[in-house]
Amino acid sequence: MPESPGGLGMEKVDVLLRVNLDFPQIDGAENMTGYSTKMGVDEKDFVETYKEVCRLDWVCVKGIYAFAASRVLDDKILLRIDEYIFDFVEKLQSETGEVSVIDFGGGLGIDYLKGIRQFDVERYGKALKGLIKRHGFGDKEIIMELGTYLVGNAGYYTSEIIDIKEIKGKKHIIIAGGINHMGLPLEMRRQHPVALISRGKPKLYAAQPSVRAEIADISGPLCIVSDRLSWDVPIEKADIGDIVVYTQAGAYCYGEGLVNFLMHEHPFEIVFDSQVNMD
């Protein structure tokens, strides 16, 4: 057992204890429950572990952290997870006493594939309010981590096409930044919506390659094959010097990028607020 930090003049630290639920895996971008992962304490061991941690004299256990999945697009599925968590908290309270904080983690998703599916926040909020009332949890602190949902659609990543090549019958568009600037295409195998802005730059030589109504990959400049941001994408028109624009790049993209890998330049970050005058 680690030594108490009391001798260092520290007060008790408020903590939440993370649980790895037995809830089945669901249709989310990343599941963190229902199977063996390193996340949290196994549900079958949680009550005893919770009791043991509560006995420590330098921590104050306020409740549980139950992040089950990320980027869920079906509000009914997320509500079923929440109900499972509330049922679990009731069982936990029957053996350990009052639980004052329930952290759901993330969950509310945005559609990176076609941008068509929308998480029904209003319907979810009304149902969650009813669920809280039914369980008598109105006095508890309920925490939801909504970063991706709030900012995911707000960001754009842009990069210049620096080369186009054809290898074994397939076109490859090379841009100035790749997974060193946007990590999620590699980490999550997720393709962001992409658009191209033509700049009409003159060719350097007559046979300079281009893309015209073809299927292509869009890759960065790193010397590894996995440095791809898009694959098998239909491209109507692309030329060297054009700008590639990835939308929905506001969450985890630069933050998960391998920014120092091979020591390429870091991307510039530009932030606009509602007060900016673009004239």
- Is 134 found in the same domain as 182? no
Count of domains observed in the chain: 2
Mean pLDDT of the chain: 90
Q: CA 278, CA 69: separation in Å to the nearest integer?
A: 39
Per-residue pLDDT at 1: 46
Q: What is the CATH number of the domain that holds 190?
A: 2.40.37.10
Q: Where are the alpha helices (DSSP H) in the chain?
A: 43-54, 75-96, 121-135, 147-151, 184-187
Domain that holds residue 114: 5-150
Query: What are the pLDDT digits (tens) for 128-144?
Result: 999 999 999 999 999 99
Q: How many residues does the chain have?
A: 279
Higher pLDDT pick, 100 / 188? 100
Residue type, 274: S
Tell me: pLDDT of 252 over 90: no
Higher pLDDT pick, 14 / 253? 14
Tell me: pLDDT of 28 over 60: no
Higher pLDDT pick, 147 / 69? 147
- DSSP code of residue 6: G
Confidence tier at 5 by pLDDT (50, 70, 90): low
- Is 37 found in the same domain as 80? yes
Residue 58 CB: number of other CB atoms within 10 A? 14
